[in-house]
Amino acid sequence: MHRNFPRSPRALLGAASVAALLSGCTVGPDFERPAAPADQAYDNAAMPGTTAKADVHGGEAQHLAVGADIPGEWWSLFRSPALDQLIRQALAANPDLKAADATLRQAQELAAADRGALFPSVDASANGQREKIAASQTGIPGYAPVYNLANASVSVSYTVDVFGGVQRTIEASDAAADYQRWQREAQVLTLTSNIVTTAVQEASLRAQIGATHEIIDAEAHQLDVINRQFTLGGASKNDILSQQALLAQARATLPALEKQLAQQRHLLATLAGNTPAQGAAAEFELEKLTLPTELPLSLPAKLVE
């Protein structure tokens, strides 16, 4: 038999109040990402499309690509096999990256475990019992039966996420995993940028040392010319002393440059996972490094994002 009961206003008001109370008890507000600034340039001045060029190695004009993305293996743009090999070695041997990998795996596993709360929990158990009845209890001489009893049970439970606490926990775990992933990316970027910077500095120091040797040779040759002129009476002793001072000044700059080169070599070996005594396998020169032809141009805020 079906009967229709009248709905009183008081009952409807109570149901609406309960629904509003439950919706108001939801854990935390939904995150809304703030809008980024609409600016696409540093200022309102027009940006040039290319850089200036020079008639030297590496002096080719570079094109500015506004809004272009930087490739993950950005160091490959220098087209140096030795640099690529050194960075691969450093990424494989760096202990900080290994620790970051382990931390990232832990965060990802914790996030996966928290997502398991959305699924039913199943618990199963089984037990067996074997019992032999004494003949004195059965009342039948010589009859002692054996009883086997097996029990099995399965229980299924499910957590109803009424207030969104489980979902917020999952969101927090996913955010923690993302944070660890970007922390690792930051360590990779720091390591690779330090290696590239050190390699370029090493190449620059080698070029400076080479130019200094050329200057020393030129100053020494000029000193020989002045000595011959002095023998022939075409130069004074003061000219010889001045040229000797210039030669000594040029030679005095060489040890400082060689020391800086040794420091860069030691730093490069350390970044690659070796000791300074082992050294870095490659030696870098400016002629073996090629500047990228396309330069991505974006705001620092875009890089941070």
Lowest mean pLDDT among 188-192, 221-225, 240-244, 293-297: 293-297
For residues 104 and 98, give the distance between their C-alpha atoms in angstroms, rounded to a whole number. Answer: 10
DSSP string, 226-258: HHHHHHTTSS-HHHHHHHHHHHHHHHHHHHHHH
For residues 234 and 88, give the distance between their C-alpha atoms in angstroms, rounded to a whole number. Answer: 62
For residues 173 and 118, give the distance between their C-alpha atoms in angstroms, rounded to a whole number. Answer: 14
Residue 26 reports pLDDT greater than 70 = no
For residues 118 and 64, give the distance between their C-alpha atoms in angstroms, rounded to a whole number. Answer: 49
For residues 117 and 161, give the distance between their C-alpha atoms in angstroms, rounded to a whole number. Answer: 9
Expressed in angstroms, the distance from the first to the final Cα of the chain is 65
Using one digit for the tens of pLDDT, what is the confidence trace for 194-224? 999 999 999 999 999 999 999 999 999 999 9
Cα Rg of the chain, angstroms: 39
Residue 141 reports pLDDT greater than 80 = no
Say if CB 80 and CB 284 are below 8 A apart.
Answer: yes
Look up the pTM and report it: 0.72
Q: Tokens 């080479």: give the residue.
A: 210
Say if CB 156 and CB 83 are below 8 A apart.
Answer: no
**120-129 burial, b for 16+ CB within 10 Å, e for fewer?**
eeeeeeeeee
| 273 vs 141: which has the higher pLDDT | 273
Say if CB 90 and CB 301 are below 8 A apart.
Answer: no
Say if CB 292 and CB 77 are below 8 A apart.
Answer: yes
pLDDT (average), residues 49-71: 81
- Domain layout of the chain by residue ranges: 72-115+170-304, 121-157
Backbone angles phi, psi at 18, to 5 degrees: -65, -40
CATH number, span 72-115+170-304: 1.20.1600.10
